[in-house]
Amino acid sequence: MVRLLNVYTISSFVALGGALFGVDVSSMSGVIGTEQYQNYYGNPLGTRQCIITSGMAAGSLAGALFSSYLGDRFSRKSAIQMGASLWCIGATLQAASTGIPMLIVGRVISGLYIGITSSLVPIYQSEISPRKIRGRLVSLQQFAITLGIMIQYFIEYGCSFINSTASFRVPWAVQTVPALLLFIGLFWLPRSPRWLASKDRWDETLLVLAFLRTPNGDVNEPLVLAEYKEIEDQIRFEREEASNSYVELFSRKIRKRVVLSMAIQMWNQLTGMNVMTYYIFYILKSAGIANSMLASCIQYIINTLMTIPSIIWADKWGRRPALLIGAIVMSLWLFLIGGLLQAFGTPNPNQHQAYTWIVVDHPNATRAILAFSYLAVATFAISWGPVSWMYPPEVVPLRVRAKSVALAIATGWATNFALDGGFFVFGSFNVMAFLHVLVSAPETKRRTLEELDEIFEHGEPLWKSIWAHKESTKLDKLARDIELGVIKFERGRAAQSTGTDIPRS
């Protein structure tokens, strides 16, 4: 019988943090085209609407930078709970806002939550995951984001028919419900075993590892003992180096990894996907789509469904191929969209509309733009969307993981905050991302987080890392040696337990 609480259900539940990120994305894109929103807030266009939308990104940048302190000091789990409290405050302010300033403040506070969880949820998922399905479990973060976008958009689409301010207040208020569920439910989940080990809570580390890796919580399972020993050896090695983790982020030994994870997050934003998500209503409207709200709904469905293949096969096809193929194919769709808009579009004579370029009386071009928009979304959903969350926690050691990931996610949010460009610009960014991944990003699938140190330390050739899943790993050999008695394993008092209870303190 499958146990209810396991790595799949735990990772799925904590992915509610990502779902709320998605909810926030469509909480704006789903209302900016409605008359109720436009009338109440004085028809905010151009810079004013950009400031409202960017309030979330600004808060997320600050939250991401602060997340490393919270995650290291109070644990990944507790920090996510703190963020959920901030989300409830932010969502309440948005729902009750009486003007643009209050709305912006609410979005900034909600952004603090998103910055915290977008950094710590992938770390938590990575640190509880077995190496062979780590990509699958972290992909649940992106799936939850797309699901949150879709559900919130449908709620707002339905509420758009309400002829009052309730058309946007109700969806914004509903956002507090999943945050409360996340806050309460986390009390029943374990802390990260690697965080516990970093605090010398070794008995709890072994219990949590046994709970996560075996159906009956057997602390004598060789693979559990091997992973425990690998974590123990890694922490001992890190402490012997006696480095300052903040300074070490920019040391010769670590900075390549930090810069790589920052770049992955930056390129993720520069694919153009976020602009298409936030402003899809305007993009489709300018392309001549009659019912842009309905067309946007279809895009969000595609975004959600096309994330599923990555969940299933991310640990089979690897990170590098997904990033490389995704970047080059995304650039193709964006160049085609930009070319069609350039060839068949004209300046918008109505200066009171948010979009300045329109396609009129070219139905074939309109349909092609819609099709390429859907293909661009599908390409992102199967490649850069999920992989950009997997990579940053994988490539850095435990002692600087929270700080490095915080810096990477903050880079993403800073890029998001500054975004402004056309389809040709984003298409070019995708080509640049392809080239950077090609020469700089090793494959990380099917390696333990501790083994990945060796890949960077010894400069494993990029082509060789692709075939990592075919090689016998260090963890498997260590487990065999423990089972055969070649390595004597010293265990604490927790090793005598074989129960399935897990410490939650």
| Chain-centroid distance, C-alpha 69 | 19
The token pair that represents 80 in the structure block:
């996510």
The token pair that represents 15 in the structure block:
């992915």
Q: What is the sign of the dihedral through the CA atoms of 235, 241, 247 and 248?
A: negative
3-class DSSP state of 396: coil
Q: What does the mean pLDDT of the chain come to?
A: 87
pLDDT confidence of residue 207: 96
| Chain-centroid distance, C-alpha 270 | 15
Q: What is 245-264 written as a DSSP string?
A: HHHHTTSTTTHHHHHHHHHH
pLDDT at residue 279 is higher than 80: no
Of the candidate CATH numbers 1.20.1250.20, 1.25.40.10, 3.40.50.970, 3.30.300.180, the domain formed by 7-189+243-440 belongs to: 1.20.1250.20
Closest CA to 277 of 97, 53, 122: 53
pLDDT confidence of residue 462: 64
pLDDT tier for residue 496 given thresholds of 50, 70 and 90? very low
How many helices and strands in the chain, by DSSP H and E? 26, 2
pLDDT confidence of residue 466: 54
Closest CA to 265 of 220, 323, 315: 323
pLDDT tier for residue 491 given thresholds of 50, 70 and 90? low
With tokens 């392309």, the residue in question is 287
Residues shown for the chain: 505
Could you tell me if 273 and 337 are in contact, meaning their C-beta atoms sit under 8 angstroms apart? Answer: no
- Cite the DSSP H helix spans in 43-165: 46-74, 76-95, 100-128, 134-159
The larger pLDDT score, comparing residue 91 to residue 480, is at 91
Percent of the chain residues past pLDDT 90, beyond the cut: 53
Closest CA to 398 of 143, 91, 192: 192
pLDDT at residue 494 is higher than 50: no
Whether the predicted model's global pTM rises above the 0.75 cut: yes
Average the pLDDT over 469-490 and give the result.
Answer: 74
pLDDT at residue 41 is higher than 90: yes
* 505: Cβ contacts below 8 Å, ≥ 6 apart: none
Lowest-pLDDT range, 252-266, 301-315, 413-427? 413-427
The larger pLDDT score, comparing residue 482 to residue 63, is at 63
Q: What is 201-244 written as a DSSP string?
A: -HHHHHHHHHHHHSTT--TT-HHHHHHHHHHHHHHHHHHHHT--
pLDDT confidence of residue 481: 85
pLDDT at residue 430 is higher than 60: yes
The token pair that represents 75 in the structure block:
């644990």
The token pair that represents 107 in the structure block:
């979005």
DSSP state of 87: H
Please state the φ and ψ torsions of residue 359, each to the nearest 5 degrees.
-110, 120
pLDDT confidence of residue 498: 44
Q: What is 182-208 written as a DSSP string?
A: HHHHGGGSPPPHHHHHHTT-HHHHHHH
* Residues 164-181 pLDDT 10s: 999 999 999 999 999 999
Q: ∠ CA(395), CA(400), CA(405), 5° rounding?
A: 60
* Residues 202-248 pLDDT 10s: 999 999 999 999 999 999 999 999 999 999 988 888 887 766 567 78
Task: Report domain extents, the chain.
Answer: 7-189+243-440, 192-242+472-505
Average the pLDDT over 321-348 and give the result.
Answer: 91
With tokens 């099709």, the residue in question is 371
Please state the φ and ψ torsions of residue 503, each to the nearest 5 degrees.
-75, 135
pLDDT tier for residue 85 given thresholds of 50, 70 and 90? very high
Q: In whole angstroms, what is the distance from residue 218 CA to residue 189 CA?
A: 18
Lowest-pLDDT range, 71-75, 190-194, 251-255, 408-412? 251-255
Closest CA to 379 of 444, 314, 310, 291: 310
Closest CA to 153 of 303, 56, 297: 297
pLDDT confidence of residue 469: 47
Could you tell me if 291 and 368 are in contact, meaning their C-beta atoms sit under 8 angstroms apart? Answer: no
pLDDT confidence of residue 503: 57
Average the pLDDT over 474-503 and give the result.
Answer: 67
* 500: Cβ contacts below 8 Å, ≥ 6 apart: 3, 211, 216, 217
SS3 content of the chain, % helix, strand, coil (to 5): 75, 0, 25
pLDDT confidence of residue 63: 95
